[in-house]
Amino acid sequence: MGFWDGKRVIVTGGGGFLGGAVCRVLEERGVPASSVFVARSAVYDLRERAACEKLYRESFGGDPADVVIHVAGTVGGIGATMARPGEFFHDNAAMGLHLIEAFRGAGLIERGARFVMVGTAAAYPVGAPVPLREESLWHGLPSEAGASYGVAKLMAMEMLGAYRRQYGMRSGYLVPINLYGPGDHFEEERSHVAAALIRRFIEAADRGDREVVCWGTGSATRDFLYVDDAAEGIVRAAEVMEEPKAINLGTGRETPIRELAETIGAAAGFRGEIRWDTTKPDGAPRRFLDISRADELLGWRPAVSLEEGVGRAVAWYREWAGECGRLE
């Protein structure tokens, strides 16, 4: 228990994919449910300063929080971010801005409370050398597709640094790569590549399709991190970090999209052919993280292999989709 003994924790987005995993890790640490306050958007619109002030005032019956873990955000796949860049920028920038300032206004800095912010690897600039290192975050603009989301998250990191220098605010800042696992967003508009392929291969396997068509050549590489591993890194940062030094959370392993598709296809029971539509783009040829800083500062490394994680995600989706009537 140690650090968490008697601590009160606010988790924004605690009912979502990553936030839910953070709550599970806190439970594993021995933090009782009564000491974890999940800030839900239906009650607290964190894009509004008044709602953030209300959150700090109302959580735990008015008793002050000791740790705030900010996971909530307006998120989506590449199609959504390109279609609604203004919304993605405003919502994510406003949440960070108001939560951090309201944290100060609530007197939590003087109490030694910590604020842990979850950023995004979408903030890395186009053309940054791989493996991606934290020092590259400010060395250029992200791709147009993810710039509105990525820059909004980076603004919060800069704000945390400014509040550390002026007010002594204690904080941490994590940069997770592509997440996947149980509870992911499988809806077409919100899903990222791993979740989209899981849904596609399961549906194809159940229909008995002879082939699944995937975009590009399959040679592009990415870094896929199991959601519970990411949550462990976030909780670890809350335990040890004092300043918002960006820390990558990934596997440090290049996984070709072709390997991801084959792994998912096997787990889903798909026995047909995977055909690659080379008229469609691959995107960046290589993209994965250097995770040496996480090892050094947090003592953290991922524990779940791609095969194990995909198997868990496929099993979860089958059960969930079956209960929802999405699978025949």
**110: enclosing H helix or E strand:** none
- DSSP code for 90: H
**Helices 257-268, 193-207: crossing angle, 10 deg rounding:** 40
From 44, 56, 124, 149, active-site residue? 149
The whole-angstrom separation of Cα 315 and Cα 131 is 31
Q: What are phi and psi of 291, to 5 degrees?
A: -115, 20
Catalytic residue check, 149: yes
Amino acid residing at 33: A
Taking CA atoms, 19 is separated from 14, 44, 50, 184, 322, in Å, by 4, 15, 22, 11, 24
Between CA 71 and CA 234 the distance in angstroms is 10
**CB under 8 Å to 218, separation ≥6 — which residues?**
256, 257, 258, 261, 274, 276
Whole-angstrom CA distances from 226 to 223, 250, 271, 310 are 10, 9, 25, 8
Query: Tokens 């809806």 belong to which residue?
Result: 187
37's tokens: 């306050």
Q: Is the peptide bond before 131 cis (omega within 30 degrees of 0)?
A: yes
* Burial profile 237-262: b = 16 or more Cβ within 10 angstroms, e = fewer: bbbebeebbbbbbbbbbebebbebbe
Catalytic residues: 149
